[in-house]
Amino acid sequence: MTTMPINTAISRFSVPALADMPQDIRDRLLAVQEKSGFIPNVFLVLARRPDEFRAFFAYHDALMDKPGNLSKAEREMIVVATSNANGCQYCVVAHGAILRIRAKNPLIADQIAINYRKADITDRQRAMLDFAMKVAFEAQLVDEDDYAGLAAHGFTEDDAWDIAGIAAFFGLSNRMANVTRMRPNDEFYNMGR
């Protein structure tokens, strides 16, 4: 009975060296490192595929950095709630950190990840997360009643699109992180606590 050593690689796929990446991708990684003090593994793991990398982060930025009625913290709530339901370690840990910082609340990320229905959130945020979960797990059933429910909490048509877009995009991200066995950086676990 021998035991396999625990695997702590950042991906089950090989990861390119910084020097071998296209200039624009290397630049983005160095900028992130400059700002955050480390390079989140999602950048390294996806750099194996430069075209997909560029599309992925363009999509990410289009949804997460755009202006709109959803606060930055609320967008991260959507990521954290759907990512735990998808069993995605990377996204819950990394975006949990961002959520704690954005919400200035050290408890909120764990609460939402485990069971957002019992988290310290407003009714409006609860309705937002109910819709996000329906998009993530049974989008084929979404209908006008769901939009009416959002409108009753003051969400506009564009807010509804934003919620759906974030849930759908991170569904893609969750799947790629799970398939590549993407490892969350140790730095994320304690940020914002």
Min. distance of Cβ 4 from a second copy in angstroms? Answer: 5
Q: Are 88 and 174 in contact (CB under 8 A)?
A: yes
Q: What are the distances in angstroms from CA 126 to CA 23, 74, 100?
A: 42, 10, 17
Determine, following the binding rule CB under 8 A, whether residue 187 of this chain makes contact with a second copy: no
Q: What is the DSSP letter of 141?
A: G
Residues contacting 128, CB < 8 A, separation 6+: 70, 74, 77, 78, 150, 153, 155, 163
Determine, following the binding rule CB under 8 A, whether residue 193 of this chain makes contact with a second copy: yes
Determine, following the binding rule CB under 8 A, whether residue 20 of this chain makes contact with a second copy: no
Copy the structure tokens of residue 125.
Answer: 């945020």
Binding mask 100-119 for a second copy (x = CB under 8 A): ------xx--xx-xxx-xxx
Determine, following the binding rule CB under 8 A, whether residue 30 of this chain makes contact with a second copy: no
- Of 16 and 34, the one with the shorter C-beta distance to a second copy is 16
Q: How far apart are CA 107 and CA 96, in angstroms?
A: 10
Determine, following the binding rule CB under 8 A, whether residue 9 of this chain makes contact with a second copy: no
Determine, following the binding rule CB under 8 A, whether residue 58 of this chain makes contact with a second copy: yes
Determine, following the binding rule CB under 8 A, whether residue 147 of this chain makes contact with a second copy: yes
- Does residue 14 come out as left (phi exceeding 0), alpha (psi in the -120 to 50 range) or beta? beta
Instruction: List binders of a second copy among 72-101 (CB under 8 A).
Output: 84, 86-89, 92-93, 96
- Of 42 and 121, the one with the shorter C-beta distance to a second copy is 121
For residue 45, the one-letter residue type is V
Q: How many residues does the chain have?
A: 193
Residues near a second copy (CB under 8 A), total: 77
Binding part of the chain for a second copy, among 25-33, 34-42, 68-76, 120-128 by CB under 8 A, reads: 120-128
